[in-house]
Structure 1
Amino acid sequence: MARSTYGTRADDTFATMRADILAGRLTPGEKLKFPELSTRYGVGVGVLREALTRLVEQDLVRSQPHQGFQVTPLSAEDLIELTTARVAIECLVFRMSLAEGDTPWESDLVAKHHTLERTPQYDRDDPERVGDAWSRAHADFHHALLAGCRNSRLLGIATSLRDSAELYRSWSQQHFRHPDRDVIAEHRELMELALARDADAAVEALARHISHTTDILLGTDHRQESMSAGNVGSGVSA
């Protein structure tokens, strides 16, 4: 029972810390010191260390030798590198998903899109913030797009890169309302192209979708560079 209670406390602490990071209550680059965290979350060092290790795996926290933990800093250079990597890998995995996905995969994709489309995008109590339920539905939909791929290694890399982008998505939430952007239409297009097995158009749409927020944040057209990286996926037969 003690083990189960410990695991539950670690899970709860992980979830609370993750929410605090994504909501900006723990800010990018902030040092995470055990005494302060213990007081804040009411748990011991062991629970905190387990939660922090899981956050490191999602690239929301970084661990530095002799310096401890800190919330992952944000930078334009890292965002560009991350976006380019995501376009290259996710487009490759998406193309494989379209080639290998079966009827149950299609059904799951439709269900995940339905949930995403029907979930309110903004928090009821804080209309300027994207809601947690929508964020979960958004992640589930993007995972469903790639889930037809049978290469678990590539799928794991793609998932890890998406996790790494979570902090940037959180800090760019206002850009979902950018006048040049229709996120609902982008998601529907991705689903429809996937179901049609139109691999070339689907991969191009995914590259645009991934790069769009980066373009807005940086005030540049990063899509051209990222979409050329997406050509990595073109070598996989549909």
Structure 2
Amino acid sequence: MARRANAETISEGVREMLRADIFAAQWAPGTNLQIGELTKRYAASSTVVREAMVRLAGEKLLQFRPNRGFFISEYSLEELRGLGGLRCRVEEYGLTLAIERGDVDWESDLVALHHRLERTPRRDSEDPHHITAEWFVAHQGFHAKLLEACGVPLLQDFAATLGEATALYRLWTAPDQRAQSRDIEAEHRAILEATIARDAPTATKLLREHYMRTIDIIEDAEFRAASEAAPSQE
């Protein structure tokens, strides 16, 4: 029994390390992950690594392709827009319910998480082109708390899955100029203020604009990257 518990602990540890590396943008969307390389990276057996990858595929962070292996989840721009639109619909409903049902403790927790988010550096002066891990965690926490009071765990889980799909691209396109100059702090502040004021129409409108602006930046970055990679016609 102790040996099994230890094996589960090791497996969980590898899964969390791999998950953290995915969200640290160690690999671009569409990258084929080699099990042999990951066994060295995480000092784990191929069985443990494969189990971790299967579980992350279940979370939609990896995609399994028969006879080809595991890949960092990759979506077309059309698919990303579809996922973004679906996420907006789901979270608009969830936030409306949360505003109706949330109590003062939920408000207090939301304000505290927003405070942590505002005080956490989004970019490191030594690596200004990428989002810090601390800010990413704080950002995920704030958005999760917005929906927490809705009282529908299945909705919350679905929203988290949809959010992580776009998060992979948001992190990868972080060096883009539009992403760097965006006043995302003002966007979060406006969403918080409307939520605390119990103004569901405004809060959900701001949330939708916040998410779709991210999709716009991803699309713009992908378009320009494709243009730069195209051979010159001169």
Q: Could you report, residue by residue, the CA deviation over 1:123-149 in whole angstroms, capped at 9, with x for unpaired residues?
A: 354222110000000000000111110
- State the match for 2:116 in structure 1: 115
**Count of paired positions:** 218
SS in 2 for 1:129: strand
CA contact (8 A) 1:58 1:164 kept: no
What TM-score do the two structures reach when normalised by structure 2? 0.85
1:40 aligns to 2:41 (yes or no): yes
Give the CA RMSD over aligned residues. 2.0
Contact 2:60/2:73 (8 A) holds in 1 = yes
Query: How do residues 61-72 of structure 1 correspond to structure 2 at under 5 angstroms?
Result: 61-72=62-73
Partner of 2:179: 176
Change (3 A) 1:219 1:127: closer
What is the CA-CA distance between 1:68 and the residue it aligns to? 2.5
Matches within 5 A, 1:156-167: 156-167=157-168
SS class of match (1:63):
strand
Specify the SS of the correspondent of 1:173: coil
Task: Report SS of the residue matched to 1:128.
Answer: strand
* Local SS of the residue matching 1:127: strand
What corresponds to 1:204 in structure 2?
205
Alignment of 1:86-101 (within 5 A): 86-101=87-102
Preserved contact between residue 34 and residue 48 of structure 1 (Cα < 8 Å): yes
Cα deviations across residues 65-108 of structure 1 (Å, max 9, x unaligned)?
34331111242122111111111111111111111111111111
Q: Identity percentage over the alignment?
A: 37
SS in 2 for 1:165: helix
Equivalences for residues 178-193 of structure 1 within 5 A: 178=181, 181-193=182-194
* C-alpha distance 40-184 of structure 1, shift in aligned 2 (>3 A): same
Q: Is the 8 A contact 1:38 1:44 kept in 2?
A: yes
Equivalent position of 1:141 in the other structure: 142
User: After superposition, where does 1:78-89 map in structure 2 within 5 Å?
Assistant: 78-89=79-90
Q: Which residue pairs with 1:27 in the alignment? A: 28
| Distance of 2:22 and 2:69 partners within structure 1 | 17
Partners of 2:58 and 2:104 lie apart in 1 by 32
> Could you say if the C-alpha distance between residues 79 and 26 of structure 1 is closer, same or farther in structure 2, counting changes exceeding 3 Å?
same
Task: For 2:127 and 2:64, locate their aligned partners in 1 and report how far apart those are by CA, in whole Å.
Answer: 32
Do the aligned partners of 1:123 and 1:132 also contact (CA within 8 Å) in 2?
Answer: no
Displacement, 1:5?
3.4
**Structure 2: 5+ residue stretches without partners:** 222-234
Tell me the TM-score normalized by structure 1: 0.84
Report the Cα distance in structure 2 between the residues aligned to 1:88 and 1:131, rounded to whole angstroms. Answer: 28
